[in-house]
Structure 1
Amino acid sequence: MTTRWAGVPASRRRDERRDMLVRAAFALFGAGGEAVLTVRAVCREAELHTRYFYENFTDTGELLAAVYDRQAEALGEVLARALEEAGQDPEARTRAGVRDVLRFISDDPRRGRVLFAEAPGNEPLAARRRAAETALLDGLVAMGPRDDPTVVIAATMVTGAMIELARQWADGRLGDDLDAVVDTAAELSTALHAKAVERLTR
């Protein structure tokens, strides 16, 4: 009788099992949060023996970090494409970025839970979220004179606001009118940008 992995090279078998575990964890965490993410539950969802879990991960925290990495990479590609198409106008870039990030979440609500929902005590996930926030902040600061505190303050405020906007949207607290949310976010962000520019040119 042939086995499930017959004829598949060892490295590929491991990669495929890792992918199956990550997809299973995404489904579980996306539907029920961290409380339902156990080794046994993930392996049952993936239809794999628990030994294959420990072949790839030390614990569920490390697995959830891998789930986050995959969704963050996908979101990064969406955001980069949106900003490239928007050009250099600050308001157009804000509109495109906010719209595509929120749409990315809406297309699969599980993404919002993975990227933004609270996960108390999960340090690998928290570390990745901090790194993502820092990268966003650094990108915004790089758009202006680095030695001017106005740029850093404005970038810090925008970073916090955008992350919280995505979190509230993922939680369903902003309604379902995407256009209204994008319009408001763009208006407020543009006003902050204009104020920062005004201070820089004094």
Structure 2
Amino acid sequence: MSGQTRAYGGVDGDERRARRRERLIEAGLDLLSSEQGEAALTVRSVCARSGLAARYFYESFGDRTELALAVYDHVVGEIATTTAAAVAAGPRDARARTRAGLANIVRVIVDDPRRGRLLFSTAFLSAPLARRRLESGQLFCGLLAGHTKAFFGVVGDGRLDLATQFAVGGLAQALTAWLHGHLELDPEPLVDHCTDLFVALMSQALVSREPPER
């Protein structure tokens, strides 16, 4: 049986490993989103939370930092994928599609508050996670710029780049304040107001740059 994995209960070895990895990521998300943040994440605590032996931790991850990055990537990837799908499914209307994307982001963090605490908590101070947070910000800037250029049939320039950075950074700050109780808004009004701001900002960035006639 060289090169093959044995099946138990109809589940082969690769699938069992994948399921164990999912359990470790879920346990990591629980711990990282706790009040202690990254300090709560140890191999022992993850194994206790997941109900898996340490050997299964090292089957998927080299150390706790590798797990922390995998958890972060998992959450960001889920939000990016579902948001892109929500935007694509919307009608061909700039405001409707913008609202669909923002509503999905808010829904994801409301449905599972752990995701919001992971993405917007100030407790994550390690250099690897700080770099990942910056990288994820650039990912969402790229997605916003790409959707804008494709929808309006325009090419990018400095103004659009600035607008996407401003929009994504502003949304992150607004959601951080909202999750910490500094903005007293229900989810629907929050999405509506953020949509208005996004549309106004991106519309301004798309204003013709032709010089005025003399």
CA–CA distance in structure 2, aligned partners of residues 64 and 106 of structure 1: 21
Equivalenced residue count is 196
Q: Does 1:65 align with 2:79?
A: no
Question: 1:121 maps to what in 2?
Answer: 126
Question: 1:99 maps to what in 2?
Answer: 103
Q: Secondary structure at the match of 1:145?
A: coil
Question: 1:137 maps to what in 2?
Answer: 141
Gaps of 5+ in 1: none
Q: Does 1:14 align with 2:17?
A: yes
TM-score, L = length of structure 2: 0.79
Contact conserved, 2:160 with 2:202, CA < 8 A, in 1?
A: no
CA–CA distance in structure 1, aligned partners of residues 98 and 210 of structure 2: 22
Contact conserved, 1:102 with 1:169, CA < 8 A, in 2?
A: no
Report Cα offsets for 1:82-127 as digits up to 9, x if no partner: 212223422222222222211110111101122232310140x333
How far 1:62 sits from its partner (Å)? 0.9
CA–CA distance in structure 1, aligned partners of residues 177 and 90 of structure 2: 24
CA–CA distance in structure 1, aligned partners of residues 22 and 143 of structure 2: 31
Could you say which structure has the higher helix fraction?
1
TM-score, L = length of structure 1: 0.83
Assess, with a 3 A threshold, how the Cα gap between structure 1 residues 64 and 78 changes in structure 2: closer, same or farther: same
Assess, with a 3 A threshold, how the Cα gap between structure 1 residues 19 and 83 changes in structure 2: closer, same or farther: same
Assess, with a 3 A threshold, how the Cα gap between structure 1 residues 95 and 201 changes in structure 2: closer, same or farther: farther
CA–CA distance in structure 1, aligned partners of residues 76 and 163 of structure 2: 24
Report Cα offsets for 1:148-202 as digits up to 9, x if no partner: 3222221221121122233333333323411221222122222222322335355
CA–CA distance in structure 1, aligned partners of residues 7 and 89 of structure 2: 46
When the two chains are superposed, the root-mean-square deviation of aligned CA atoms in Å is: 2.4
How far 1:135 sits from its partner (Å)? 2.1
Letter in 1 for 2:59: E
Assess, with a 3 A threshold, how the Cα gap between structure 1 residues 86 and 126 changes in structure 2: closer, same or farther: same
Contact conserved, 1:38 with 1:60, CA < 8 A, in 2?
A: yes
CA–CA distance in structure 2, aligned partners of residues 85 and 199 of structure 1: 28
Which moved further from structure 2: 28-37 or 106-115?
28-37
Gaps of 5+ in 2: 1-5
Contact conserved, 1:67 with 1:114, CA < 8 A, in 2?
A: no
How far 1:73 sits from its partner (Å)? 2.3
